Amino acid sequence: MSAETAQNARGSGGASLFSDQRFRSLFFQALVIGLLGAFLVFIVYNTAHNIEKRGIQTGFAFLDAAAGYDIAISPFMEYTATHTHGRVFLVGLFNTLLVSFLGIIAATFLGVFLGVLRLSPNWLVSRIVYCYVEFTRNVPLLLQILLWYAIFLALPSVKQSITMFNDIIILNKRGLVLPEPLPGDGFMLVPIALVVAIVASIFFARWAKKTQAATGKIYPVFMTNTAMIIGLPLLAFAVTGFPLDFAYAELKGFNFKGGVVIKPEFTALWFALSLYTAAFISETVRAGIQSVSHGQTEASEALGLRPSWTMRLIILPQALRVIIPPMTSQYLNLTKNSSLAVAIGYPDIVQSFGGVTLNQTGQAIEVIFITMLVYLTISLLISAFMNWYNNRVSLVER
């Protein structure tokens, strides 16, 4: 009897139907779906009952209702207590994005800097960075946010403000007051020039790379592009006749009027997020650079490449392959950790929309659903972008 017929003989018997793998698989999946369905029905039934009993409204009509509370920080759009909860959502979303974006930038620069210092041949410097990293990583972020907030609140009061540069920059417990830029006629030319310079430098870099591959001639890409990106906006600024004024803050009554105020809530959150994430990034960078075998450095030196070229052309491209995946998760962590804003009252989406709006409307399900959706979307977007970048830098293997 062949193996096939033996299997058929076994599979056809009704009693041993369960030993057929395909049937078993179908059975278990049906079971899982059934259990999950029952669980969902149970939850939905309970929820409907509870909502009815407690008189909680449902639906998304609350987004159009007046919020009735103030939000202290709304840099991108006008907001007063008469605006709707939908507006609160937008303000919160932009505040989350703002602190995450600035945090990612600061953490990346600081983290790469610390990671390189950690690898310094200088023992003392490497040890100092090590201590910093270990201390920062092993203390909860929430505590660090609270600590920075306490430090900023311990600054002098408005009357005894610390002033720098002849009262241009003012620092007190209510925040950092900077002069407000007032762009005049023709100032729009400056950002346009900046965009033009960036686009031009991308094209120049591509052209230079192609030319080098074809002819071997090397152009000073970095210097040219830096000069272009800084120079072109400056030129535009000068040509239009420096159309920029500043509104300086003045002490009127109990507080400063005019100028841009950077609130301590924002600064504390930004500092804590950047410093905390930088410690993790520095370890990532260190591990990445160390993962490139020393033979690569020696080989490139043997080829006669300059040390800076060795770093740029040999070490970094290989290190980036190792660095980028964990870096992505650090960026995601920073964005998610920005939700700890709720502890110090920085009005991000969790504090304003997920906190105050939830408490006022009582519509926990809708509010938490929207809030989670926002974070899921941000996570997916950052992952997608970093995956795209990762594919670009990863070496093509045979």
Residue whose CB is less far from another protein, 53 or 398: 53
The answer to the question of residue 29 lying near another protein (CB under 8 A) is yes
Residue whose CB is less far from another protein, 126 or 390: 126
Spatial CA neighbour of 356 closest among 378, 338, 341, 374: 341
- Per-residue binding string, another protein, 94-133, x by CB under 8 A, is --------------------------xxxxxx--x-----
Of 6, 9, 143, 227, the one binding another protein by CB under 8 A: 143
The answer to the question of residue 255 lying near another protein (CB under 8 A) is no
The answer to the question of residue 43 lying near another protein (CB under 8 A) is yes
The answer to the question of residue 379 lying near another protein (CB under 8 A) is yes
Spatial CA neighbour of 348 closest among 266, 244, 284: 266
Residue whose CB is less far from another protein, 56 or 168: 56
Of 17, 32, 66, 303, the one binding another protein by CB under 8 A: 32
Residue ranges of the alpha helices (H) in 119-173? 123-137, 141-153
Residue whose CB is less far from another protein, 179 or 263: 263
Of 46, 57, 58, 226, the one binding another protein by CB under 8 A: 46
**Cβ 349 vs Cβ 367: under 8 Å:** no
The answer to the question of residue 10 lying near another protein (CB under 8 A) is no
Cβ-based neighbours of 367, under 8 Å, separated by 6 or more: 353, 354, 357, 358, 361
The 3-state DSSP class for residue 272 equals helix
Of 151, 195, 199, 227, the one binding another protein by CB under 8 A: 151
Residue whose CB is less far from another protein, 137 or 312: 137
The answer to the question of residue 138 lying near another protein (CB under 8 A) is yes
Of 111, 284, 358, 361, the one binding another protein by CB under 8 A: 358
Spatial CA neighbour of 162 closest among 175, 150, 149: 175
The answer to the question of residue 82 lying near another protein (CB under 8 A) is no
Of 116, 142, 168, 287, the one binding another protein by CB under 8 A: 142
Cβ-based neighbours of 149, under 8 Å, separated by 6 or more: 264, 265, 268, 269, 344
**Residues from 321 through 350 that contact another protein (CB under 8 A):** 336-337, 339-340, 342-343, 350
DSSP string of 299-366? HHHHTT--HHHIIIIIIHHHHHHHHHHHHHHHHHHHHHHGGGGGGTT---IIIIIIIIIHHHH--HHH
Spatial distance between the Cα atoms of 152 and 214, rounded to a whole number of angstroms: 56
Spatial CA neighbour of 85 closest among 374, 367, 383, 365: 367
DSSP 121: S
**Shortest distance, position 255 Cβ to another protein, whole Å:** 22
Spatial distance between the Cα atoms of 390 and 317, rounded to a whole number of angstroms: 11
Residue whose CB is less far from another protein, 147 or 251: 147
Q: Could you give the dihedral angle defined by the CA atoms of residues 216, 217, 222 and 225, in that order, rounded to the nearest 10 degrees?
A: -120
Residue whose CB is less far from another protein, 310 or 371: 371
**Cβ 257 vs Cβ 249: under 8 Å:** yes
Spatial distance between the Cα atoms of 165 and 311, rounded to a whole number of angstroms: 40
The answer to the question of residue 376 lying near another protein (CB under 8 A) is yes
**Shortest distance, position 184 Cβ to another protein, whole Å:** 43
**Shortest distance, position 212 Cβ to another protein, whole Å:** 31
Name the token pair of 96. Answer: 């989350």
Sheet containing strand 169-172, edge to edge, reads 162-164, 169-172, 175-178, 260-262
**Residues from 49 through 78 that contact another protein (CB under 8 A):** 49-51, 53
Residue whose CB is less far from another protein, 225 or 335: 335
In this chain, which stretch among 72-80, 208-216, 297-305, 363-371 interacts with another protein, using CB under 8 A? 363-371
Question: Which chain residues interact with another protein by CB under 8 A?
Answer: 25, 28-29, 32-33, 36, 43, 46-47, 49-51, 53, 120-125, 128, 134-135, 137-144, 146-147, 150-151, 153-154, 336-337, 339-340, 342-343, 350, 354, 358, 364-365, 368, 371-372, 375-376, 379-380
